[in-house]
Amino acid sequence: MSSIEGMAEQNVILVEKEVSTRFRLLSGLARESGGDEKIIVNKLQGFVETYQFKRIGYIAADGTAETTDGYRLNMSDRDFFQQSMRGKNFLTDAFEDRIDTSHETINVFSVPVYEKERKTVKGVLFATCKDEMLEGCLKNEIFEGQAFNYIIKIDGTIVATSGNSKEWGIGRNIFNTDVSEDERDDYAGDLMLSNMKEGKSGYGLDPKRKEVSLYYYMPLKIEESGEPWYVVTAVEDSVLTSRMQVVMDAINSLMVIILVVISVSVGVYIYSWRQSKKELMSLAYQDPVTLGDNFAAFKKKAKSKKDGVGWLIAMDVTDFKLINSTCGVKKGDEVLRVIWEIFETETGENELAAHVNADRFILFWMDENQENIKQRLEHVIRKIEEIPERLEIPNLFPVFGIFHTIVLDEIDPLYGNAVQAKHQIKGRRDRHYIFYDELNHESIQENRELEEHFETALENEEFEIWYQPKYSAHSRKLVGAEALVRWRRADGALIPPLKFIPLFERNGNIIRLDEYVFRAVCRQQKEWQKQGQKMLPVSVNISRVSLYYSSVVEKYESIIRSFDLDSKYIQLEITESATIDNNEIFNLLEQFHTAGFKILLDDFGSGYSSLATLNRMHFDTIKLDKSLVDYIGDDNGEKLLNSITKLAQSFGMEITAEGVETVEQLMFLCNLDCDDIQGYYFSRPLPVKEYEECLKEACM
C-alpha cells in the first residue's frame, strides 16, 4: 500500500510539473508576443519541436485561428477558446483531433493573449499535445511494470492512462463496467466518489476485474482543468503476493506430505513453518543487493537496543550515478557490496549498519569520543577510496553526515538530521564528513525560505542581470561583459549570489535559473540591437547541473533562435569543475560549437585544474581564476602563469584574466599578451543601466 501511494504521489508530481511547465511556456510566449499574431505563428515552430507539441496556434478575438502546421479555421465554438477569452488558462479533457484526419486523441492548453497594457484579452494562444504527453507521466517500472495508472475526473471518466492500461479506453468510466456487480465494490465506489468530491485521497479494492485490485486515488492540483482531476494507481493482488509464491508452494507441498505421512506430520509442519518464517523475514529485512540488513531491519534492531547513546551516520557517494551510467548497473551493485563489506568489518558487535537504497547507507556507532569517530571515518574513507583501483572504476568520493543520539526510538527524524548535515557538504570536494552540531541552523532556515520563494521570484522577475565589463588588455577599450545574477526581493533587499547559487545547485533549481538568465540576456541584447547600440558579446554561465540536463544544447539554441539573435553576441562560460566526472562534456562542447556558441573555460586554476583538460577539450577562451592572478609578485607564481598562458595560446585559445585589481597585475598580464581583463581595476559588476552607459561611451 505504501508503494502504491508513493507511486501515485510521484505520478501527481510529474503530471503537475509537466502541465505547469507548458502553461509557463505559453504564458511567457503570450507576454513576449505583445498580442502580435504574426510574431506568434512565425516564431513558434521551434517551440513545437522542442516541447514536443503537435501544433501551436493563435486564435483572434473573432475566432479565426492560424496554426504552425498551416491550418486556418474558425474555432470560436471551442470551449478552451471561450474560457481563455475570459482571461483563464485552460486545459481540456482528452478528445479526438478535429483539425486534421489523424483521429488522434489530444489535450489542448490555452492561455489569454493581452494587449500591451494587459487589460484587454486580444486573442488566445493554444498548444495541442497528443495524449502520449500525459501517458508518458504515468509510465512506471514499479512491480515490474504491472501497475496501472489513470487520470480521471470526479465522475469517473478516464482522461488518460498508462500504456499498459489502454484496455480501459479513453472515455470509459471506472464506476460503470460490463461485469457482474458486487456489494463490496458498490460500497468502495460510493466511498471513493464521496471522497473525491471532498478532495480527499484514499485506498480501495476493486473485485470487478478478473483478479482483485488494490488502488489508491489522489487529487491533482491543476486549476486549469476546469473541474477536479484525480490520479488513480492500481495493482492486482496477485502481483503484490507474487514474491511469496515460492514459499507458499513449498508449504502446500509439505501439507500434502503431512496428509500422506501422518506419523511425521507434526514434525514436518513445524519444520516447514520455521523455514517459511525465516524466508519471510529475509524478504522483509534483507537487502537484495548487499544481502545484509536493509533499512527496515536497522529500525527494528535499533528499537530493541537499550543503550541508544552514540552517533547516527548517513552516508552516500557523490555522483554515484556516473558509475552506473559509465560502468553498468552490475558494476555499480558490485561497488555497493564492497562498501557494505567495509562497513560490516568496521562496525562493532553492538553497533548497526544497513543499506538504505541506491548508494545510501546508515550506521550507528557507539564510541563516545567524537575524535575516535573521526578517526574511524577517516579509516573507512581510505578503504573506500581504494575501491576504484581494485574494480577499475572512476574515483569515489564518500560523504557522511553525523548526528549524536541519546535514544533510538524514532529512527526517521534522527536519520533526517544526519542527512540534513550531509547535504551541507554534498557537491563539495574539500570535506568528507560533517557533524550536525556544526550546522548553522539560522542559515538552514534562511535557505528553506529562499527555496520556498524561488517560484514567486521567477514569476515576478526578481532576479536581476548585472554586467561585469571586460576590457582589452592593450587598448583598454570595452570588449564585452560577463552576465551575473542578483536577487532583489520585493522589499528591495539585494541577496548576493553566494547565498542562493550553491543552494539552487543542490536542489536542481539552478537549471531553471540558468535558462532564465540566458533568456534575459538574449532579450536585452536584442533590445540594444533594436536601439542601435554598439553590440558586444556577453558571456553567460551554465552550471554543471544544467549540463546533465537532457537536450540542453537544443534548448539554448531554440531560445536564441526565438529572439532572432546571432550567437556571436552570446558566449557560454563553463566552470572547470563541470568538466570533472562528466563523460558527455566533450560531445556537449562540440554541439555548442556547431550551434555557433563560443565556449569559455571559467575559473581555470581554482583547484580542479588539469592541463590535460586543455588538450582534450576545445575551448575558445580560458579565464584565469583570481587565485592565479594573485600569484603575480611571487617568482614561482609568475612562472606558473607564464607557462599556462603560453600553453593555452599554443592551442589557439584566447586568455581572459579575472580579478585584476592593481596596475602591477595589469602590466604583467599585458606582457604575457593576455587578451582581456576583468576585475575591479577597470570596473565592478554594474546594473543594466550603468553598463548601458559604458556601451554608449564605447561608441564615442
Q: Give the tens place of pLDDT for each residue, 202-227.
A: 887 765 555 557 788 889 888 777 77
The answer to the question of residue 9 being in a domain is no
347: domain CATH number is 3.30.70.270
- Supply the pLDDT for residue 180: 44
Please indicate, yes or no, whether residues 433 and 464 belong to a single structural domain of this protein: no
- Supply the pLDDT for residue 670: 94
pTM of the predicted model, to two decimals? Answer: 0.47
412 contacts: CB under 8 Å, gap ≥ 6 = none
- Supply the pLDDT for residue 12: 86
Residue 462: all three cell numbers together: 526578481
The answer to the question of residue 176 being in a domain is no
The answer to the question of residue 588 being in a domain is yes
Please indicate, yes or no, whether residues 345 and 391 belong to a single structural domain of this protein: yes
In this structure, the number of other CB atoms found within 10 A of the CB of residue 270 comes to 10
The answer to the question of residue 445 being in a domain is no
Domain finish residue from 88, 108, 134? 134
Please indicate, yes or no, whether residues 537 and 568 belong to a single structural domain of this protein: yes
Q: Is 37 helix (H, G, I), strand (E, B) or coil?
A: helix
Low-confidence ranges of the chain (pLDDT < 70): 34-41, 140-145, 163-172, 176-189, 206-212, 237-247, 271-273, 275-282, 440-443, 550, 577, 580-583, 606-613, 615, 700
The answer to the question of residue 319 being in a domain is yes
Cβ atoms 543, 578 nearer than 8 A = yes
- Supply the pLDDT for residue 355: 95
Strand partners, 235: 214
Rounded to whole angstroms, how far apart are CA atoms 444 and 452? 12
Please indicate, yes or no, whether residues 309 and 395 belong to a single structural domain of this protein: yes
694: domain CATH number is 3.20.20.450
The C-alpha torsion from 653 through 658 and 663 to 664, rounded to 10°, is: -70
The answer to the question of residue 539 being in a domain is yes
Please indicate, yes or no, whether residues 473 and 617 belong to a single structural domain of this protein: yes
- Supply the pLDDT for residue 46: 80
Domain finish residue from 285, 320, 350? 285
DSSP 8-state code for residue 439: S
> Which H or E run includes 259?
helix 245-260
- Supply the pLDDT for residue 170: 44
Please indicate, yes or no, whether residues 250 and 356 belong to a single structural domain of this protein: no
Please indicate, yes or no, whether residues 268 and 301 belong to a single structural domain of this protein: no
Please indicate, yes or no, whether residues 382 and 513 belong to a single structural domain of this protein: no
Count of domains for the chain: 4
In this structure, the number of other CB atoms found within 10 A of the CB of residue 372 comes to 12
The answer to the question of residue 34 being in a domain is yes
The answer to the question of residue 218 being in a domain is no
Please indicate, yes or no, whether residues 385 and 257 belong to a single structural domain of this protein: no
Please indicate, yes or no, whether residues 403 and 474 belong to a single structural domain of this protein: no
Domain finish residue from 408, 439, 470? 439
Q: Residue 219: which of 306, 152, 284, 159 has the closest Cα?
A: 152
- Supply the pLDDT for residue 273: 61
- Supply the pLDDT for residue 517: 96
21: domain CATH number is 3.30.450.20
- Supply the pLDDT for residue 182: 47
Q: Which residue segment(s) compose the domain that 668 sits in?
A: 459-699
pLDDT in tens, 254-295: 888 988 888 787 777 776 667 666 666 667 889 999 999 999
Please indicate, yes or no, whether residues 338 and 424 belong to a single structural domain of this protein: yes
Please indicate, yes or no, whether residues 422 and 469 belong to a single structural domain of this protein: no
